[in-house]
Amino acid sequence: MDDFYRDFILDHYRNPRNFGHLTEPDAVAEDRNPLCGDEMRVELEVDEAGKVSDIRFSGKGCAISQASASMLIESAKGKSLESILALNEESVLENVGIDISPTRMKCAMLGLGVLKSAALAGIAKASPE
Amino acid sequence: MSGTASAVVDGERNVRADFPILGARTSRGKPLIYLDSAATSQKPLVVIDALDRYYREYNANIHRGVYEIAARATDAFEEARAKVARFLNAGEAAELIWTRNATEAINLVAWSWGGANLHPGDVILVSELEHHSNLVPWQLLAERTGAELRFIPVDDLGELQLDRLDTLLERCKIVAVAHVSNTLGTILPVAEIVARAHAVGAIVLIDGAQAAPHLPVDVRALDADFYVLSAHKMLGPTGIGVLYGKRALLEAMPPFLAGGDMIRSVSYERSSFNELPWKFEAGTSNIADAIAFGSAIDYLAAYGMEHLRTHERTLLAYAFERLAALEKRGLTIYGPHDPDRSSGVISMNFADIHAHDLASILDTEGICIRAGHHCTMPLMGRLDLAATARASFYLYNDRSDVDALVAGLEKAAAIFRLS
Ligand SMILES: Cc1ncc(COP(=O)(O)O)c(C=O)c1O
């Protein structure tokens, strides 16, 4: 955990990428971690091919949740909604590139859950029954 | 750990040696610096031994066996109750009901007393800083009975605002209020609240979960109608707590849980109930933990609650003094910030370091603190905070722990590159 708080993590924490809101998002999801009060919202813009053409996230939380989310969200741009659904814990850890202790895993995974919910919402919207 | 040296500095015998866990090291080889006693306290050897002795030497069910070890278990169980009664200066041991914890004690009152006494339009009054345990049972009771739930406001320092109390008390039947805030450490003016509530005929439950471990408590001097506590926060085991209630109130209340032990006689159609306190103790009790809690009470009584309060006040004053240097670097301390008005809790945030990150960094140094909302989500909302980092002290903490905390915070500042 000592090693977690590297400069690039702190940079993502203090200067999160794609932070804010879209004017007309196609899909939105939010969640909170009741344990620590972390909150996160993800907004997606989806093109005709079903790919993420723009993305924003917002919320508040610890360095682990914010930096993990910032890196994950950054990597989601250009991906298809289906491939976002295929992301898992390993993808996040790979992205972050640093060990996370079991007690903080929930923090690191907050962004993943919200991003996937947003992708699901996007898929549902694209193919109404 | 420098426990021995600090104990000499403090002019006290080495209390730390009584707590086996305080000699432990973390997986990183750091000495354990335990600053989370508000969540649960550590246990002295005498308490661990009492558990061990019961199971090894006289484990038996109580109140029914005629054989020797059953009698011994019954005696030890009831003697523990008597010790708690003396510790709180209750009128008689029969006014103390064993529960699992403070939460269950509050629920017992909400269900039993509340169900029998509250009607639509009646008022339940709690404060804005209550632990969820002293809030949610009252919310549910209000829903069940149609009573109205009202709140005594707190100011930004976590002090209760009593100027509107008399208005809030209109139509009030019961007030439920903490004696000490678990989030901010504030010592609350419960005696005044009791007096003013009684003046309009309301009764008062005091949540002593954070007070009984740290302050001398006299339930009769406070004139509390109910007083609840959890053993695990005051050197005792988990799974045992206490409801103190005035005899007249407890006698008039219907049973809470029903079953064995709480009955006098049972026919197929109906039952008559046992006398106090057993009327409220259905089923086999937590015998071992009650007995071991008795040993914890012995330990606290021998140490002396006045002495404990002085020790913690001195330690808090030292902590505030040491932390002052960090306040210039962005450390914010919540709550009264005054050792005379606060009991062993320091709630803080450090610049833009999230409380969870702070706790993780301190953890790498073997320092145990708590981060989060401390089961007081409405209060955190009221103070506009998402989370705080909380360090809490007890009789086994000394200046070396404060020094370690300050060093840990400095490390966090360096990692986060605070200027
Ligand atoms: C003020 C207060 N009330 C009630 C409780 C509930 O205690 P328990 O969980 O042991 O029932 C706590 C525990 O944190 C507390 O701090």
- pLDDT at position B2 is 38
Contact of B16 with B3, CB cutoff 8 Å: yes
**pLDDT tier for residue A98 given thresholds of 50, 70 and 90:** confident
- pLDDT at position B13 is 66
Q: Which residue of B has its CA nearest to A38?
A: B386
| pLDDT tens-digit readout, B284-299 | 999 999 999 999 999 9
Q: Which residues line ligand 1 (CB under 6 A)?
A: B 101-103, 131, 133-134, 178, 182, 207, 209-210, 230, 375
Nearest chain B CA: its distance from A37 CA (Å): 6
Q: Count how many pairs of residues, chain A against chain B, have C-beta atoms within 8 Å.
A: 49
The strand pairing partners of B333, in sequence order, are B348
Residue A129, Cβ density class (10 Å: 0-12 exposed, 13-18 middle, ≥19 buried)? exposed
Q: Which amino acid is at B331?
A: L
Separation of alpha carbons B284 and A1, rounded Å = 45
Ligand 1, atom 7: closest residue by C-alpha: B102
Whether B417 contacts chain A with CB within 8 A: yes
Q: Which of B375, B376, B390, B394 to mutate to test the pocket of ligand 1 (most atoms within 8 A of CB)?
A: B375
Asked if A103 and B352 come within 8 Å (Cβ–Cβ), the reply is: no
Q: What is the DSSP string of B196-246?
A: HHHHTT-EEEEE-TTTTTTS---HHHHT-SEEEEEGGGTTS-TT-EEEEE-
Equal fold, B2-43+304-415 vs B49-302:
no
Of B228, B291, B375, B412, the active-site residue reads B375
B172 an active-site residue?
no
CB-based contacts of A73, cutoff 8 Å, min separation 6? A17, A18, A42, A55, A56, A57, A111, A115
CATH number for the domain running over B49-302:
3.40.640.10
Report how far apart, in Å, the C-alpha atoms of B391 and of each of A129, B4, B18, B398, B413 are. Answer: 54, 22, 21, 13, 17
**CA–centroid distance for B336 within its chain:** 19
The pLDDT of residue B11 is above 70: no
In the stretch 96-125 of chain A, residues with CB closer than 8 A to chain B read 101, 103-104, 107
The strand pairing partners of B332, in sequence order, are B349
For chain B, the domains span 2-43+304-415, 49-302
In the stretch 39-58 of chain A, residues with CB closer than 8 A to chain B read none
Cα–ligand 1 centroid distance for B22 (angstroms): 23
Separation of alpha carbons B29 and B25, rounded Å = 5
For chain A, the domains span 2-123
Q: Which of B372, B415, B416 is closest, CB to CB, to A35?
A: B372
Q: Which of B354, B377, B417 is closest, CB to CB, to A62?
A: B354
Asked if B356 and A4 come within 8 Å (Cβ–Cβ), the reply is: no
Nearest chain B CA: its distance from A32 CA (Å): 12
The pLDDT of residue B198 is above 90: yes
Specify the range with the lowest mean pLDDT, choosing from B137-141, B255-259, B406-410.
B255-259
**CA–centroid distance for B239 within its chain:** 13
The strand pairing partners of B263, in sequence order, are B273
- Interface ipTM: 0.90
Separation of alpha carbons A109 and A103, rounded Å = 12
CATH number for the domain running over B2-43+304-415:
3.90.1150.10
Asked if A37 and B380 come within 8 Å (Cβ–Cβ), the reply is: yes
Q: Which of B353, B363, B371 is closest, CB to CB, to A36?
A: B371
Architecture of domain A2-123: Alpha-Beta Complex (3.90)
pTM: 0.93
Contact of B371 with B390, CB cutoff 8 Å: yes
Contact of B129 with B140, CB cutoff 8 Å: no
| pLDDT tens-digit readout, B69-127 | 999 999 999 999 999 999 999 999 999 999 999 999 999 999 999 999 999 999 999 99
| pLDDT tens-digit readout, B306-345 | 999 999 999 999 999 999 999 999 999 999 889 999 999 9
| pLDDT tens-digit readout, A3-61 | 789 999 999 999 999 999 999 999 999 998 877 778 999 999 999 999 999 999 999 99
**CA–centroid distance for B380 within its chain:** 19
Cβ neighbours around B8 below 10 Å, total: 11
- pLDDT at position B17 is 96
Contact of A56 with A43, CB cutoff 8 Å: yes
Which 3 state secondary structure label does DSSP give B149?
Answer: strand
Contact of B409 with B350, CB cutoff 8 Å: yes
Residue burial B33-55, b: 16+ Cβ < 10 Å; e: rest: bbbbbbbbbbbbeebbebbebbe
How would you list the strands of the sheet with B203-207, edge to edge? B96-99, B241-245, B226-230, B203-207, B172-178, B123-127, B148-152
